[in-house]
Amino acid sequence: FYYWYYGTRVMYLVGGEDWRVWKDYMCRFLVDNQDGTGGWDGSQSEEGEQYVTYRAALGALILEFCCGHVPIYMSPPRVKAPGAVRVVVEKEAEKEAPLTVEIIMDASNSMWGQIGGEAKITIARRVLAETIGGLPDTMNVGLRVYGHRYALNDPQACADTELAVPIGPLDKNGLIETVNRIQLKGKTPLVHSVLEAIKDFAGTTNGTIVLVTDGIESCGGDIASIAPAIKAAGLELKVNIVGFDIKEAEGRAELESIARSTGGRYIDARNADELTGALGQTLKLEFVVLDATGQERGRGAIGGGAVKVPAGDYVIRVLTEPRPVEIEVTVKPGEDKALTLRRSGGTWILE
């Protein structure tokens, strides 16, 4: 009987025609051989009162399994349909949604590389100018550059990062002019630049670093040092990274690791159109979805697409300034929950 019982469980897992044949046979066999007491005869090694009980119990389990329904402990778990959350900003409040951002621009020698016959730096300048021109006037924006002052073989190449435009009220023309003046020369002191950028946010509580790079760290910087530095500064600061024409999987993984460690995102851009889209995504006000333990379960852009999450209870936090605003919500299976961010009496409200 143990053979029949465990054989039944195994054949159920095998499934298909083998399971159908097995269960049909076991149903007929057990019913045809059941005695008047409701039990079954066993082998000589199974004689005794205790075996009568075991055989009856196992036989009943096999019958239930094959002729009735699969026991709960063998059934696949029921998975609730996921829900989704989106956040939009009230039209009247759209211009009052400030965002503090510092763009870090890669001006290393490799940006002379070409995509479709056009230098990457030319594409980057054009796309950045278009993107900056379309930013809301309420934003606070700064610009940091690396690799633009010292040649590859210069001893100072790995310290070559400069705050070209300090974080402040958006000056579109000034930013665009600065971007267009940048020259390409040296290495990619990526980690050093991000660590210096963290200091540029002194006096703020949160913000976003948007790094546009076509390469990975080339000066031996420790990518694992970035997230602890942000924490030590007492900032709620994330690093969004746009990888521009990053061909190596290892390079993408390194950049993804930096972004993920700070709660930011990594986006690939292989051409001008993708660079435009990536910058648009990384420069928007964001919201995060937190579960009951405070763990992040999703992140999206205000006014962007919905973020899919399993049905359940969450805290939705919008990274407004000077401090985030949040609300507790319950997302039902299949529900597309839409929240609105609005302004009332100088205070942000999420409902």
What is the number of domains present in the chain? 3
Half-sphere CA count of 119, side-chain side, radius 13 A: 11
The pLDDT of residue 78 is: 60
Whether residue 160 has pLDDT greater than 80: yes
Query: Which of the four pLDDT bands, split at 50, 70 and 90, describes residue 173?
Result: very high
Looking at the structure, tell me whether residues 280 and 310 fall in a common domain: no
In a shared domain, residues 346 and 203: no
Confidence of residue 28 (pLDDT cuts 50, 70, 90): confident
> For the residues 215-224, what does the mean pLDDT come to?
90
Above 90 in pLDDT, residue 174?
yes
Residue 144 sits in the same domain as residue 178: yes
Residue 148 has pLDDT above 80, yes or no: yes
Which CATH number belongs to the domain containing residue 113 in this structure? 3.40.50.410
Which of 45-49, 104-108, 211-215 bottoms out in mean pLDDT, i.e. has the lowest?
Answer: 45-49
For residue 73, the model assigns a pLDDT of: 52
Tell me which of 36 and 4 has the higher pLDDT.
4
258 and 329 belong to one structural domain: no
Report CA 72 to chain centroid distance, whole Å: 34
Verify that 255 and 275 share a domain, yes or no: yes
- Residue ending a domain, among 241, 267, 284, is 284
Shared-domain flag, residues 27 and 113: no
Cα–Cα distance for residue pair 138/28, rounded to 1 Å: 77
Any idea which residue has 């409701």 for tokens? 38
pTM over 0.75: no
Confidence of residue 76 (pLDDT cuts 50, 70, 90): low
Q: Do 116 and 164 fall into the same domain? A: yes
Residues 178 and 311 in one domain: no
pLDDT band at 316, cuts 50/70/90?
A: very high
